Amino acid sequence: MNEMMLKKRSTNYLPEDLVVEILSRVPLTSLARLRWACKGWNDLIKDKILAMKPSQIIVLIDSRVYLASVDMHKIDNNKVNLTSQFSLKDPLSHNFSEEVDIQNVFHCDGLLCTTKDDRLVVWNPLSRETRWIQPRSTNKEFEYFALGISSSNKYKILRIVHTGKTHPGLLEFEIYDFTSNSWKVISESRDWLKPLWKSCVMSVNGNIYWLAFREGDGIFLQSFDFSTERFRRVSLPGDHHYYNILSLAVTREKQQLCLLTQDRQVPANNVWIATKIESKRAASWIKFLSFDLPNFHHPFHFCSPMNFLVDRENKVLVCPGKNNGVSNNFLNILGENKFIQVDHQDGKSVCSLLVNYVPTFVQIHQGSLK
């Protein structure tokens, strides 16, 4: 038996546990190439290896997207590691030589990014697959894009737009279907003001949730179902007249919606988790975390727009540092009797957005989950 055949047989008969151990040490970007080595490796990477990877977050710094790793057991060293940069090349530049400036990031089985020059791209940085989409129009005062999945596993994009031509608070909505590669207008217009903090539109199990405002109703929780293509309100925890609503987030592991509130009568801040969201308006909430911090008396104390991440195991939340040009704090770790300000490695840049990152090999151009 020649040497080539011997190597092939040895690889085929490696115990699965050993193969998993080896592949789990391979960087994410290299796993994308190893998927094609053989079907067995592809199945292991999709079903086991990705789930074993340490929890990572996407941060947006100076219009560039980075992966960051925060070890909650070592946060007292006051450092956060940027493990890699996700590079998105501009197809309009000469020989794809220039990178795209990213304005915002929306995560749902890939990355939905809006660029600063009104272009829209759906981007999977792991497979490096992109899909550039032309919006119906660029005549607007405000717009936001959110990616979702229907019950038949089809990708769709909701565009929330205010053109300024109608009532000041009236929004228009459009749906992009990946399969048909076309936009359509949703006839149902709503007299909401635009989402309060546009970085806080969250995806949970394919549908999206955000905080909205209407005169007379105040702030409320709104959702959009990509299967029915209909809007609905979702109930808030307790009596929402007794607290200020700050921001939304989603847990990484179980895809649960989180709400950060601030009591109006006592100096307390709370993180709520929706354990169940019914098909109608009802939602079941539990109070996950309460904390009181000095100088935490305004929704924009840390950054504006404000967003945060929840670590269920360590009972903390993570939010960006001040975004006012005064502080170089990169992240703040908040919890019961805990307040840690974490610096970036070089202490020069401030994070403007945090998003939990769950890697996937889903193929964007097919328009559905495979």
Residue 178 sits in a domain whose CATH number is: 2.120.10.30
The residue segments making up the domain with residue 161 are: 54-366
| pLDDT (0 to 100) of residue 59 | 83
Q: What is the mean pLDDT of residues 130-137?
A: 88
CB 55 within 8 A of CB 356: yes
Same domain, 275 and 178: yes
| pLDDT (0 to 100) of residue 133 | 92
**How many structural domains are present in the chain?**
2
Higher-pLDDT residue of 215 and 172 is 172
| pTM (predicted TM-score) | 0.81
Same domain, 41 and 132: no
Q: Is the pLDDT of residue 320 over 80?
A: no
Same domain, 40 and 80: no
pLDDT band at residue 64 under the 50/70/90 scheme: confident
Helix (H, G, I), strand (E, B) or coil at 44: helix
pLDDT band at residue 357 under the 50/70/90 scheme: confident
CA atoms within 13 A on the CB side of 172: 16
Higher-pLDDT residue of 34 and 235 is 235
Last residue of a domain, one of 33, 53, 73: 53
- Mean of pLDDT over the chain: 76
Q: Which of 25, 181, 102 is nearest to 352 (CA)?
A: 102
pLDDT band at residue 193 under the 50/70/90 scheme: low
Same domain, 146 and 285: yes
Q: Is the pLDDT of residue 317 over 80?
A: no
Q: Which of 300, 223, 314 is nearest to 260 (CA)?
A: 300
CB 19 within 8 A of CB 34: no
Q: Is the pLDDT of residue 184 over 90?
A: yes
Same domain, 102 and 2: no
Query: Which range has the worst mean pLDDT, 40-44, 117-121, 140-144, 320-324?
Result: 320-324
Q: Is the pLDDT of residue 6 over 60?
A: no
Last residue of a domain, one of 53, 74, 89: 53
Beta bridge partners, 219, equal 213
| pLDDT (0 to 100) of residue 7 | 45
Same domain, 237 and 298: yes
How far apart are alpha carbons 124 and 65 in whole angstroms?
12
The percentage of residues in the chain with a pLDDT greater than 90, rounded to a whole number, is 14
Q: Which two tokens stand for residue 289?
A: 């975390």
| pLDDT (0 to 100) of residue 297 | 47
pLDDT band at residue 333 under the 50/70/90 scheme: confident
| pLDDT (0 to 100) of residue 299 | 44
| pLDDT (0 to 100) of residue 262 | 84
User: Amino acid identity of 107?
Assistant: H
∠ CA 192-277-152, rounded to 5°: 90
Residue-wise pLDDT for 258-272, tens only, equals 998 888 887 788 899
Query: Which range has the worst mean pLDDT, 104-118, 202-216, 280-294, 297-311?
Result: 297-311
CB 367 within 8 A of CB 132: no
Last residue of a domain, one of 38, 53, 68: 53
How many secondary structure helices (H) and strands (E) does the chain include?
5, 24
Higher-pLDDT residue of 10 and 196 is 196
Helix (H, G, I), strand (E, B) or coil at 76: helix
Same domain, 12 and 148: no
pLDDT band at residue 15 under the 50/70/90 scheme: confident
Same domain, 224 and 137: yes
Residue-wise pLDDT for 273-307, tens only, equals 999 988 777 899 999 988 876 555 444 344 445 57
Q: What is the mean pLDDT of residues 71-81?
A: 63
Same domain, 206 and 327: yes
Q: Which residues contact 35 (CB under 8 A, 6 or more apart)?
A: 41, 42, 45, 46, 361
| pLDDT (0 to 100) of residue 87 | 85
| pLDDT (0 to 100) of residue 326 | 45
pLDDT band at residue 157 under the 50/70/90 scheme: very high
* Phi–psi pair at 42, nearest 5 degrees: -60, -45
| pLDDT (0 to 100) of residue 171 | 77
In angstroms, what CA-CA distances link 18 with 11, 25, 27, 53?
11, 11, 17, 16
| pLDDT (0 to 100) of residue 165 | 65
Same domain, 229 and 290: yes
Most confident of 3-7, 210-214, 216-220, 247-251: 247-251
pLDDT band at residue 3 under the 50/70/90 scheme: very low
Same domain, 14 and 121: no
Q: Is the pLDDT of residue 182 over 60?
A: yes
